[in-house]
Amino acid sequence: MAAESGANSLQVEYWNDVAGPKWVALDGLINDQIEGLGRTAIERAAPRPGEAVLDVGCGCGHSSVELAGHVGETGRVLGVDVSEPMLVQARSLARAAANLDFQVADAQTHGFEAAAFDLAFSRFGVMFFDDPQAAFANILRALRPGGRLVFVCWQEIAKNPWMAIPGAAAMQHLDPPAPPDPSAPGPFAFADRERVAGLLEAAGFSKVHHEALEARVTVGRGLGRAEILEFLVQMGPAGAAMREAVPEVQERIRASVAEAVTPWLTDEGMVAEALCWVVRAECPGN
């Protein structure tokens, strides 16, 4: 898709041309890794039969399918995402479920029907807006008074060794990047709970609540060691380092990542701690 009104153009390009095709190719593995975290967030959102749910940044649609199961035939789920390849995957996963639709849309700028949803949900899909306050204000307009927003997002990368360890091992082979802006759009942009609470309140939400969610994630479940390593160097900061590196440096990155993650390799895959927030907020005016 082309970015609507120029918003989020870098992320739109990234999720269509770089990350989207990768997520589709690795869909089963990635979903396996984050499914439990998403399920806990869905439990907190408590979708009920008959409710209308907006799944923001739904990607390949796993959470949308699960939400559709909760709201049943009398409810409906709309999954929106900027990534066309991921939505193709989502549609094939959903197999034309009557209560589930997908739409290519930028959640920050799309003109959703006003007050049409009981719940706006997201599994790791809201940390990529270039103007998060505007995006949450837009999502709020789509909620009915008393409607709720629930999403799961990562805490800081240092508290997520499943990604920090391969990332640090890879980055040592590149020139040190300028210190990143921790709030720039990206997977860890919502680590700071005060900032996120402020953004949500400024957007008009009330009753903002953060719950820390700690879990062990299994990366590359069921794969052999070599395949796990190949998976690891495609994702997150390690993947970004690989994209920048010439082939000779890529080999060094592979070797360093292999050494760094060895203590976390088990027969199941790479098993490491992950730390998230489950964030809840309410549309005022019930």
Q: Which residues contact ligand SAM by CB under 6 A? A: 8, 11, 15, 34, 38, 57-60, 62-63, 80-83, 86, 106-108, 123-125, 128-129
- In sequence order, the 6+-apart residues with CB closer than 8 A to the CB of 211 are 44, 277, 278, 279, 280
- Closest to ligand SAM by CB, 258 or 274: 274
Give yes or no for a contact between 80 and 110, defined as CB atoms under 8 angstroms apart.
Answer: yes
H runs (alpha helix) in 15-95: 19-25, 27-45, 62-71, 84-94
How far is C-alpha 178 from the geometric centre of its chain's CA atoms?
A: 24
Residue nearest to ligand SAM (CB): 59
Tell the smallest beta-carbon distance from residue 247 to ligand SAM (Å). 28
Cα separation of 43 and 194, whole Å?
Answer: 24
1 vs 265, which CB is nearer to ligand SAM?
A: 1
Task: Output the smallest distance, CB 167 to ligand SAM, in A.
Answer: 15
Q: Which is nearer to ligand SAM, 109 or 250 (CB)?
A: 109
Closer CB to ligand SAM, 21 or 72, in the complex? 21
Q: How far is the CB of 57 from ligand SAM (least distance, A)?
A: 3
| Shortest distance in whole angstroms from residue 41 CB to ligand SAM | 10
Q: Beta strand pairing status for 76-81 and 52-56?
A: parallel
